[in-house]
Amino acid sequence: MNANAQLFDYVLRLADNGLVLAQRLGEWVGKGPVLEEDIASTNVGLDLLGQARLWLAYAGEIEGREAPPGRTEDELAFLRDSGAFRNLLIVEQPNGHYGDTIARQFLFDQWHVLVLAELAGSRDARIAGIAAKAEKEARYHIERSTDWLVRLGDGTAESRARMQCAIDALWMYTGEMFAVDAAERALIDAGIAADVAALEGPWTAAVRSAFAEATLDVPADGWMQGARARGGKQGVHTEHLSRLLAEMQILPRSWPEARW
Amino acid sequence: MSNEWPLWEVFIRSQHGLAHKHVGSLHAPDAEMAIRNARDVYTRRNEGISIWVARSSDIHASSPGDRAALFEPSNDKVYRHPTFFPMPEEVKHL
């Protein structure tokens, strides 16, 4: 991969996290546990979708530097197959019950804020600009998901058991968030990408502190999915992504020229 | 339903408004969550700079049946209205 292709791939990773998680959160529309939560989780989804659009538009521009004009954000979102998606495995995991969704959001938000804060100082001005804007939104997301994690963890025996179960099930997808492959290493050395390996310490500290408040146990160390450069970031996904994309992409693929 | 979250009334001070204005109500388990929900339900388009919430059950209202007794007596006290004061010519924009 040359430098331009590496940058394209990296920006796609950022874009696809937001795009896929937004689609997952969108599945809650009209089905939230209460009306207020329905609106709130959809709001978070829309924030992430807005960020994904900015990343995708930039990815298309980067692609256009070598192969003009480069794909549009819609082409990138709706006409790629699962193997071309670069999102983390955790964001494609199914919604489950509301506690599962909160657990997924909490683990991701804690990572997302750290990465965006780091990227706000990127040497790539476009990445720095998008990250600075997105970080403000992510700071609100993290407050919400942490608040719910604590409420449900430190709630009834039933809610605590379900929350613990949710965390235990998702834990194996957290290792990938801090794994750096060769392409990413080159961009980190160039001062463009965030050094996620260095963020594992702060992430673990923040997560442990919230777990303590939520009376939840930190899961035991175990096998981490996708952490050895064969995961979502490299296009190797769980079966859940294809099903998600089938629903997300059916309309533009069936009616390529469809307009509102 | 008895296990539903309590109802809260939401007041928002808009960008240029001086006072908080009632905008609606929502359900939330406590005040902190009520403010958070109010942010999501009522301020999505940059409407406000400050949010108040109050438990609906803490708001006491006058009874519609008392309307006549409370408000009508002021109608026949014309001296309460400033219409009898001559306005000096120099005063503009009043």
pLDDT tens figures, A135-169: 999 999 999 999 999 999 999 999 999 999 999 99
Q: Above 50 in pLDDT, residue B62?
A: yes
Residues of B in contact with A40 (CB under 8 A): 36-37, 40-41
pTM of the model: 0.90
Chain A, 29 to 48: residues with Cβ < 8 Å from chain B are: 34-36, 39-40, 43
Q: Identify the pLDDT of residue B1.
A: 46
Residues of B in contact with A43 (CB under 8 A): 40, 44
Q: Which residue has the higher pLDDT, A121 or B65?
A: A121
Chain mean pLDDT for chain B: 85
Chain mean pLDDT for chain A: 96
Q: Above 90 in pLDDT, residue A200?
A: yes
Query: Where residue B64 falls among pLDDT bands split at 50, 70, 90?
Result: confident
Cβ neighbours of residue A117 closer than 8 Å, sequence gap 6 or more = A131, A135
Measure in Å the smallest separation between the Cα of B86 and chain A Cα atoms: 55
Residues of A in contact with B33 (CB under 8 A): 147
- Give the residue-averaged pLDDT of A173-196: 96
Task: Judge if the upstream peptide bond of residue A68 is cis by omega within 30 degrees of 0.
Answer: no
Measure in Å the smallest separation between the Cα of A63 and chain B Cα atoms: 34
Phi and psi for B28 in degrees, rounded to 5? -160, 150
Residues of A in contact with B27 (CB under 8 A): 34-36
Domain B7-84 in CATH 3.10.20.520:
yes
In this prediction, the answer to ipTM > 0.95 reads no
Measure in Å the smallest separation between the Cα of B60 and chain A Cα atoms: 25
Map residue B36 onto helix, strand or coil: helix
Q: How many cross-chain Cβ pairs, A to B, lie less than 8 Å apart? A: 25
Map residue B46 onto helix, strand or coil: coil
Q: Identify the pLDDT of residue B94.
A: 62
Task: Please name the member of A36, A143, A144 whose beta carbon is closest to the beta carbon of B26.
Answer: A36
Q: Above 60 in pLDDT, residue B14?
A: yes
Contact B37 A40 (CB under 8 A): yes
Q: Identify the pLDDT of residue A257.
A: 82
Task: Please name the member of B32, B37, B44 whose beta carbon is closest to the beta carbon of A36.
Answer: B37
Q: Identify the pLDDT of residue B2.
A: 55
Q: Above 80 in pLDDT, residue A194?
A: yes
- Give the residue-averaged pLDDT of B48-76: 87
First-to-final CA distance of chain A? 38
Q: Identify the pLDDT of residue B39.
A: 92
Contact A34 B5 (CB under 8 A): yes
- All structural domains of chain A, each given as residue ranges with its CATH number in brackets, are 3-254 (1.20.1260.10)
Contact A142, A207 (CB under 8 A): no
- Give the residue-averaged pLDDT of A85-89: 98
Contact B44 A43 (CB under 8 A): yes
- Where is average pLDDT lowest: A102-106, B1-5, B57-61? B1-5
**Which of A28, A29, A36 to mutate to probe the B interface, most B CBs <10 Å?**
A36
Residues of B in contact with A141 (CB under 8 A): none
pLDDT cut 70: percent of chain A above it:
100
